[in-house]
């Protein structure tokens, strides 16, 4: 999704609405190959970051509070992070 698409979509909603990210993952039984249920986790949007990669990316950061805090602290140190997008910074 492009930033312009996201802005266009969000412009249809009240500006004071909360933004929550829903992560959907299939759950399979150990040793099984069929999905037995769908797990949905909801997280508040915790931050936005634009890593230095070979393509323009904007990362919407969310997750468990302790993990997000650790990542945001790491971003402040300017250490190299492997984002998995190539040409990482």
Q: What is the mean pLDDT of each run of 10 residues along the chain (89 residues)?
A: 92 92 83 78 88 81 89 79 63
Per-residue pLDDT at 13 = 94
Residue with tokens 């190299």: 80
CA 81 distance to own-chain centroid: 15
CA 47 distance to own-chain centroid: 9
CA 77 distance to own-chain centroid: 20
pTM above 0.85, yes or no: no
């Amino acid at each position: 999704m492009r930033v312009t698409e996201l802005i266009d979509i969000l412009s249809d909603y009240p500006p004071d609405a909360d933004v929550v990210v829903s992560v959907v993952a299939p759950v399979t039984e150990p040793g099984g190959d069929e999905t037995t249920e769908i797990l949905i986790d909801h997280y508040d949007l915790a931050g936005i970051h634009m890593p230095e990669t070979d393509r323009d990316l904007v990362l919407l950061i969310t997750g468990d509070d302790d993990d997000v805090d650790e990542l945001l602290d790491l971003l402040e140190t300017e250490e190299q992070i492997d984002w998995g997008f190539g040409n990482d910074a």
